[in-house]
Structure 1
Amino acid sequence: MTVKNIICGICAAIGGYISYLLGGFTADLVTLILFMVIDFLMGLALALIFHRSSKTETGTLSSSAAFKGIIKKIAELMFVVIAQRLDIYLGCAFIKDAVIIGFIINELISITENAGLMGITSPAIVEAIDILKKQVGGKNENNR
């Protein structure tokens, strides 16, 4: 066996185990991962090219902010693993789907916000997101 074959085998085993933990690479999970990658790349472009990142005071790239973003995405995937295990334990098949759909919506909102900061406007969507944020923010402040 060559070193290359050993490394490929180890990577395949790790990838297979991650796939098992996530419940397989279903269409909804692939969509979530794709949206995560798009959101991360748009965030990088926003910081590197447009210098309009909301994650730093200067709006430019920060390795700390990028690292936090990656950690948040990993945490989202950990919640998917937890939801998958709950589905197995409870004998149902909807908890993982609900968690993934929630995270997909969250990623889509972030992508839309990043696009707006880049100057790509979609007025109806951006306005709807702003209204929802104000309503949720208002409820949170009143309920404290």
Structure 2
Amino acid sequence: MKNILCTSTGIIGSIIASLFGGWDTGIATLILFMGIDFFSGLAVAGIFKNSSKTETGALESRAGWKGLCRKSMTLLFVLIAHRLDLSIGTSYIRDTVVIGFMANELISIVENAGLMGIPLPAVLTKAIDILNQKSEPIK
């Protein structure tokens, strides 16, 4: 039974990894950053009660599910970028998408650290404010 479980897990894992263009440092780092961001967001809401995602700042399952849905869409964009690379014979679209989402996750991790009360250098908070302003939709 143990061998069947291990073999099945390996087959499923390799299929998923191949869909995303293989398991490389970029994907591993993106998933690591996503996990750190998710759990630091849980800490901000659950421990510090300082979340900007809820009215009370406390932990809320709906906000958590929204975050997981966003992270799932991020991975779907990586899958789409890999398929685009295959379709047009390039090898940089997926890497560009992965790097962009890694930067986004890193910004969110730094924001969570700030919400936890960790003092951040002024240049870092200024850079995050500028990036957030540029990402807001123009009205």
TM-score, with structure 2 as normaliser: 0.91
1:46 matched residue in structure 2: 44
Name the count of aligned residue pairs.
138
Q: Rg bigger for which structure?
A: 1
1:126 matched residue in structure 2: 125
C-alpha distance in 1 between matches for 2:57 and 2:42: 11
2:78 matched residue in structure 1: 80
Aligned-residue CA RMSD (Å):
1.5
| 1:55 shift after superposition | 1.3
| 1:135 shift after superposition | 4.7
Q: 2:114 aligns with which of 106, 113, 116?
A: 116
Change (3 A) 1:136 1:67: closer
SS in 2 for 1:50: coil
| 1:38 shift after superposition | 0.6
In structure 1, runs of 5+ residues without a counterpart are none
Q: Which has the higher helix share?
A: 1
Q: Deviations over 1:47-92 (max 9, x none)?
A: 1110111111111111111111112111111110111111111000
C-alpha distance in 1 between matches for 2:46 and 2:8: 35
SS in 1 for 2:55: coil
Q: 1:12 aligns with which of 5, 10, 14?
A: 10
In structure 2, runs of 5+ residues without a counterpart are none
SS in 1 for 2:47: helix
